[in-house]
Amino acid sequence: MKLTTHSPQLKTYNLKPKASGFSLLETTIAVAILVSAIVGPLGLASQSIKSASVARNNIIVSNLAQEGLELMRNYRSKNVLAGRSWTNGMDSCGAGSGCRIDPVDLVIRNCSATCEPLKFDSALHLFNYQSGEDSIFTRIIRLQNITANEVKITSSIVWSDRFGSHTFDLTGFLFNLVGKI
């Protein structure tokens, strides 16, 4: 009998170290992608917050300006019903600094250098000059005589917020209606 010896085959192993982890370039690219994915939506959210704030203020100021015109129309009607001249008490509104009118008592007051800001009474949900916290809005009423029976009225709202200073003007006309009806 013949004995054969089998020589075991030697296995060769690749002893190179396996690369694990990420290179600096791969990490930098991944971080750049993540940052752009986060910054984009944050920019949109910031812009939408600004737009919502501007839209809210635009609605408020357009209503305050319209209210200024209506208050002056009511004041004219009050004069006519009391038998006074239709522009009685409106002289201070023709001055350069304008005037203000309170919606609570329909009293017109001259704005010496500047008009004081409207107050917002949160209990009454009313802008006025008598009660509440100062708001960011200031209403200035200016009158300009056109004819003996016509006056141009401008109701301006001025305000400043974190997006800058703003002005909104609304113009209308008052007419002497005595003897016209």
Question: pLDDT per residue over 41-89, tens digit each?
Answer: 887 888 888 888 888 999 999 999 999 999 999 999 999 999 999 999 9
Q: Is the dihedral of CA 51, 126, 90, 136 positive or negative?
A: negative
Mention every residue, 6+ apart, whose C-beta is less than 8 A from residue 46: none
Most distant CA pair in the chain, distance = 147
Rounded Cα gap, residues 16 and 156, in angstroms: 80
The string of pLDDT tens digits covering residues 106-118 is 899 998 888 899 9
| 46, 55 contact by CB (below 8 A) | no
pLDDT at 37: 86
Distance CA(98)–CA(95), nearest Å, equals: 5
Interval 29-36 mean pLDDT: 88
Angstrom distance (rounded) from CA 41 to CA 135 = 32
**CA dihedral sign of residues 77, 78, 80, 81:** positive
7 or 120, greater pLDDT: 120
Mean pLDDT of the chain: 86
> Could you tell me if 120 and 127 are in contact, meaning their C-beta atoms sit under 8 angstroms apart?
yes
Q: Model-level pTM?
A: 0.74
pLDDT recorded at residue 49: 82
